[in-house]
Amino acid sequence: MKDKIIKIIARYHHDRHRLMDILIDIHDLQGYVGDTAIEVLAEQLNMSEVEINETLTFYHFFSKTPRGKYNIFLNNSITACMRGREKVKETLEEECGTEFGSVSPDGLFGLYSTSCMGMNDQGPSAIINDKVFTNLTPYRVKKLIADLKSGKTLDEAIYESVGDGNNSDPDVRSMVFNNIRKRMILLDKNYEKFEVVRNLLLQHSPDEIIGIVEDSNLRGRGGAGFPTGLKWRFGRRVEADHRVIICNADEGEPGTFKDRVLLTEFPDLVFEGMILAAYATGADIGLIYLRYEYRYLYKYLNRILEEMRKENLLGEGIAGIKQFNFDIRIQLGAGAYVCGEESALIESLEGKRGEPRDKPPFPVQKGYLGYPTIVNNVETLAAAVRIIKNGADWFKGFGTKDSLGTKLLSVSGDCKYPGIYEVEWGTSIREVMEMSGADDVQAIQVGGPSGVMISVKDIDNLGTTDLMKWYKPSGMMVAQKTFDRKLSYSDLPTGGSIIIFNNQRNLLNEVVTNFMDFFIEESCGSCSTCRNIPYLMKKKLEKIISGHGVRKDIDDLLSWGKIIKISRCGLGQTAANPVVSSILNFRHLYEQHVKAMADFDNVFDMEKSVEPANNYVGRKANIHHA
Ligand code: SF4
């Protein structure tokens, strides 16, 4: 085994920055990375064992101990839970003969939970030895486990049928469905591959390309909304021997799966966007950080990159442009939501724990291996190609004044038609509900757990038959005002996740609790605020739900939600959002729970209660100034 591990390390030229790849390969080889492998790694990479362990123990999909022959990671995102995850989990435990978090006695199955795996439109789903199994039911689980026990291979057991579109490509062969429900300018099938690189780059200088993107006002589609042209310009300005373009394909926000679909159906468009960005900024190094959950696309994407190299679309003198040298490598993650944050992603790309860096310096100044690095979202890069092809004015014909173009929405939850919708910015929540067939709505989570939960407000404003036809009289009603809110950077910004909850859902017990568990699990642990406050909030939430809370607990939650904002990165800064946003928009649910303790709230008087003790020792009570 030692020799094999040494060979793997040699394949990556003993480069410690490729530690993620090396660990993944060792994992593939022996199912875990144990003490012997760690010793070899430390020796061969000239690192300490502590450094190896730091990376190894950070990511969900790595293990230091042996797992099963088949390792089943069952998704625990909120929509999976809403669609029967608990029954699927019980069936897996019964059929495999072991509990979650352990390996079956015969060593055949390991059962584990995992966060949202980008399959919210077809959950509950599971990753089994890197292959995705969707729409699980107890029946399908029984059949799957029986097949594996009988000796069928995973492919034979899983791939009775494949999904739509390129999911049937021989290099994908996945059960995943794209569920594209609405196409506009980005998902337009009318796309001539690499036309922009082949024909238009020669007509524009890098500066002109940046100018067109700036003129279009394209903003980052990952959620932050930073102007893309400006980012490219900043990156180009920094003096350096090398510059780097990173495509952030680590979409981990629960409820988001649009990048999965773009990478499946329009990989060439995304790669073309990377070439465009490289030309504009003078970059020669290209990296795609692909979340581990999408490993089933790895072979397929690499094949396309290989074809591009043969066609001189990657490599040296791309498209006949002298000194335009650029290539793209795919780097797999290993399961860590925080790696969606660009500096954490860069740390991971360098083989380290995915902990966000202090800023400044920003990645455009000093990023991957110290080089100026431009990190763009998958959707942003795809949009840039359409803009260069059709012009900034064309792009400005879509959307609103401050939010131009279109946005891909990943819609899931309680609706008839979950899937991908390409809509113009400025589309109202009402329209999204109509499109997706959501006719019984209690709440909508916009932007995933780190976003906002919008809901019932201003019931007095209701009364139109238009609204009444949508919502059950017995349930909560969403005010017209809320439903006419628009998806835009100035009203409801979103990276694309829209999760719908109907009136049967228990928002506190089911939803907010699930979201808080997610943040507790995903904190990288660097900041004491992010490490502790979500946990304390969850405990307080449980206290309230159990009927032991008082009004002050609600106030405490709101005030802790402010304290956590000082955390270093967006994960911590938004980790209190599920609680805070649900208090702001669903305060009545919290109030219901604390009602039983109302007397305690009103009557308890600390000053009075310690009065006898004070009298006894002859001291005047002054609690408020103590
Ligand atoms: Fe890590 Fe949370 Fe701090 Fe971000 S906010 S650096 S995830 S501890």
SS3 labels along 318-376? HHHCCCCCEEEEEEECCCCHHHHCHHHHHHHHCCCCCCCCCCCCCCCCCCHHHCCEEEE
171 within some domain: no
Q: Residue 148 belongs to a domain with what CATH number?
A: 3.40.30.10
Q: Does the N-terminal peptide bond of residue 361 adopt cis geometry, omega within 30 degrees of 0?
A: yes
173 within some domain: no
Alpha helices in 391-527 (DSSP H): 392-396, 429-436, 465-468, 480-483, 513-522
Question: Residue 284: which domain range?
Answer: 182-395
Q: Residue 370 belongs to a domain with what CATH number?
A: 3.40.50.11540
- DSSP state for residue 168 in the 8-state scheme: G
Together in a domain, 52 and 78: no
In this structure, the strands spanning 285-290 and 244-249 are parallel
Together in a domain, 425 and 533: yes
Q: Report the C-alpha gap between 521 and 114 in whole angstroms.
A: 10
Please answer whether residues 109 and 101 qualify as being in contact, where contact means their C-beta atoms are separated by less than 8 angstroms: no
297 within some domain: yes
| Residue 344 pLDDT | 97
> How far is the centre of ligand 1, averaged over its atoms, from the C-alpha of 357 (Å)?
10
Of residues 361, 380, 364, the one with CA closest to residue 372: 364
Together in a domain, 95 and 41: no
Together in a domain, 233 and 314: yes
Together in a domain, 23 and 98: no
Provide the strand spans (E) within 404-519: 406-413, 419-424, 443-446, 452-454, 497-501
102 within some domain: yes
> How far is the centre of ligand 1, averaged over its atoms, from the C-alpha of 526 (Å)?
5
The token duo for 309 is 């190299």
Residues having CB closer than 6 A to ligand 1 are: 338, 355-356, 523-527, 530-531, 567-569, 571-572
The contacts of residue 530 (CB under 8 Å, 6+ apart) are 519, 523, 524, 564, 567, 568, 571, 572, 575
pTM of the full predicted structure? 0.91
Atom 1 of ligand 1: nearest residue by CA position? 524
Together in a domain, 88 and 52: no
Of residues 385, 501, 400, the one with CA closest to residue 453: 501
Give the domain-ending residue among 331, 363, 395. Answer: 395
Together in a domain, 289 and 338: yes
Together in a domain, 551 and 481: yes
Cα 209–chain centre separation: 30
> How far is the centre of ligand 1, averaged over its atoms, from the C-alpha of 355 (Å)?
7
65 within some domain: no
Together in a domain, 240 and 106: no
Q: Residue 548 belongs to a domain with what CATH number?
A: 1.20.1440.230
| Residue 265 pLDDT | 98
| Residue 599 pLDDT | 67
Ligand 1: residue of 59, 346, 523 to mutate (most ligand atoms within 8 A of CB) is 523
Q: Report the C-alpha gap between 118 and 258 in whole angstroms.
A: 8
Give the domain-ending residue among 365, 395, 425. Answer: 395
| Residue 465 pLDDT | 36
606 within some domain: no
Q: Report the C-alpha gap between 507 and 545 in whole angstroms.
A: 11
**Torsion angle (degrees, nearest 10) of CA 185, 190, 193, 197:** -50
Length of the chain, please? 626
Q: Report the C-alpha gap between 571 and 253 in whole angstroms.
A: 10
| Residue 481 pLDDT | 59
> How far is the centre of ligand 1, averaged over its atoms, from the C-alpha of 524 (Å)?
5
167 within some domain: no
Q: Report the C-alpha gap between 562 and 7 in whole angstroms.
A: 51
**356 CA: nearest ligand 1 atom:** 6
> How far is the centre of ligand 1, averaged over its atoms, from the C-alpha of 581 (Å)?
20
Together in a domain, 275 and 383: yes
Together in a domain, 18 and 114: no
197 within some domain: yes
Ranges of the chain with pLDDT below 70? 159-160, 456-482, 599-604, 620-626
Residue 377, phi then psi, degrees to nearest 5: -75, 155
Of residues 406, 408, 405, the one with CA closest to residue 396: 405
Q: Which residue has the tokens 């605020």?
A: 529
Task: Report the number of distinct structural domains present in the chain.
Answer: 4
Please answer whether residues 335 and 130 qualify as being in contact, where contact means their C-beta atoms are separated by less than 8 angstroms: no
Together in a domain, 373 and 447: no
- DSSP state for residue 162 in the 8-state scheme: -
Ligand 1: residue of 568, 573, 577 to mutate (most ligand atoms within 8 A of CB) is 568
